[in-house]
Amino acid sequence: MLKLAKLPDRTPAKITITVSSDLNQALHRYAAVYRATYGEAESVADLIPFMLDAFLDSDRGFAKARKDAVPQTETEKPVRRSRAPKSGNAEAAPRVVPSIPQTQEE
């Protein structure tokens, strides 16, 4: 057996959503504050996955529900996530999303 476990599925899922006008404005303001803070412009679409990731990581109720859920199979074990640096470093570790059921919309 190898020390490195089988790599998890890293296929991104495209999800299309519709947001309210107020939320859209808030997301664009957030992107502007992000640009002012870090000196790099990022699109709202590029920020949203990281915002959702941070939200899920900080939701204690969700963490407890996942912990108390039925044991996961070998292929569904959560994986450690690493955040890639903002630079275009090709050697940076890819961002891995925890394996939770997803609905894929086209």
| Contact by Cβ (8 Å): 83, 93 | no
- DSSP, res 11: -
Domain span holding position 42: 21-70
Confidence of residue 1 (pLDDT cuts 50, 70, 90): confident
pTM score of the predicted model: 0.58
* In a domain? residue 53: yes
* In a domain? residue 13: no
Number of domains in the chain: 1
Confidence of residue 78 (pLDDT cuts 50, 70, 90): low
* In a domain? residue 9: no
* In a domain? residue 34: yes
* In a domain? residue 37: yes
Q: How far apart are CA 19 and CA 51, in angstroms?
A: 15
* In a domain? residue 96: no
